[in-house]
Amino acid sequence: MRRMTWFNVTSLTLGFAFLYLPMLILIIFSFNESKLVTVWAGFSTKWYGELMRNTAFLDAAWVTVKVAFISSSLATILGTMAAVVMVRAGRFRGRTMFSGMIYAPMVMPEVITGLSLLLLFISLGMDRGVFTIVLAHTTFAMCYVSVVVSSRLVSFDQSLEEAALDLGCSPVQAFRLVTLPIIAPAVISGWLLAFTLSLDDLVIASFTSGPSATTLPMKIWSSVRLGVSPEINALSTIMILVVAIGVITASLINKRNVVRQRREEAAAEKLA
């Protein structure tokens, strides 16, 4: 292997430092004995213990997971349906406008999405809480799911579905038995994306929640305004850990599938 020049080494180090140093500091200080966030006073896990006894945080975490799970599931169903329509329907009047409108929330400033949803909920006289946050998150996560799924559908061999119809499937059966299992990886990553988007959303949740429901990002944000406590460092460390485990697992599964597929294809070639 070629040796890296000092320039490459430096830029790599600086780049990674820029990305990960803040998180590293956060993780280190979550094990700080002292109550002061910026003064190191020895190793301790007491803030993790404190966190477990803080019911406000635990309640917020539960609300967040609940919202993320329901809204990402709804967004996956709606987004997949939208993707199927957009890829399959061919040309019809207003197709460009329609597809543009599906993707628009991606570039819309969150403040505007949040504000318009808030106005809608008020005018409908809806009590704001978990339900309204779920609706709001579904709305903006749906377009991300639809982008992920439609990029998979574009390369999907249409004749697979035709073969299913030809062999006696109704259109719904063909989708359930053939299309869905094949595009499942894209649907799952769409779900994961929607889940993480919902987990860390602060702006839209602040607009659409009521006094009865507070998500974790909202809780963290409001407590930080009163001063950063080591407890929040501990909480953030746990969140980083959870996300990292999820991402690494997903990429390992993906990589293993690719390797296995390649090996089997090579074996088939030899056999021919």
Partner 1 sequence: MALDVFAPWEDPNAKPLIQFQNVTKRFGDFTAIDDLTVDIFEQEFFALLGPSGCGKTTMMRMLAGFETPTEGQILLAGQDIGAVPPNKRATNMMFQSYALFPHLSIWENIAFGLKRDKMPKDQIGERVEEMLRLTRLEKFARRKPHQISGGQRQRVALARSLAKAPKLLLLDEPLGALDKKLRQETQFELMDIQETTGTTFVIVTHDQEEAMTVASRVAVMDHGQIVQVATPDVIYEAPNSTYVADFIGDVNLIAGKADPQGDKLHLHWADGQPALVGSPLAGITKGQDLHYAIRPEKVSISAEKPADAANAIQGEVHDIAYLGNISTYHVQLPGGQIIKAQAANNRRISRRAFTWEDKVWLSWTDTAGVFLER
Pick out residues in 91-120 that bind partner 1 (CB under 8 A).
none
Shortest distance, position 156 Cβ to partner 1, whole Å: 11
**Maximum pairwise Cα distance, the chain:** 72
Of 81, 169, 228, 250, the one binding partner 1 by CB under 8 A: 169
Q: Answer for the pair 209, 118: CB distance below 8 angstroms, yes or no.
A: no
Pick out residues in 128-167 that bind partner 1 (CB under 8 A).
157, 159-160, 162-167
Q: Which is nearer to partner 1, 25 or 160 (CB)?
A: 160
Binding mask 212-251 for partner 1 (x = CB under 8 A): ----------------------------------------
Number of residues near partner 1 (by CB under 8 A): 25
Which window, 13-21, 49-57, 225-233, 261-269, contacts partner 1 (CB under 8 A)? 261-269
Q: Which is nearer to partner 1, 127 or 162 (CB)?
A: 162
Q: Answer for the pair 196, 243: CB distance below 8 angstroms, yes or no.
A: yes
Shortest distance, position 193 Cβ to partner 1, whole Å: 23
Angstrom distance (rounded) from CA 49 to CA 219: 18
How many Cα atoms are found within 13 Å in the side-chain-facing hemisphere of 123? 6
- Long-range contacts at 46-51 (CB < 8 A, ≥ 24 apart): 47/229, 47/230, 47/231, 47/233, 47/234, 48/234, 48/238, 50/231, 50/234, 51/231, 51/234, 51/235, 51/238
Sign of the Cα pseudo-torsion (54, 57, 60, 61, in order): negative
Angstrom distance (rounded) from CA 230 to CA 49: 11
Binding mask 173-192 for partner 1 (x = CB under 8 A): x---xx--xx----------
Residues forming the site for partner 1 (CB under 8 A): 157, 159-160, 162-170, 173, 177-178, 181-182, 261, 264-265, 267-269, 271-272
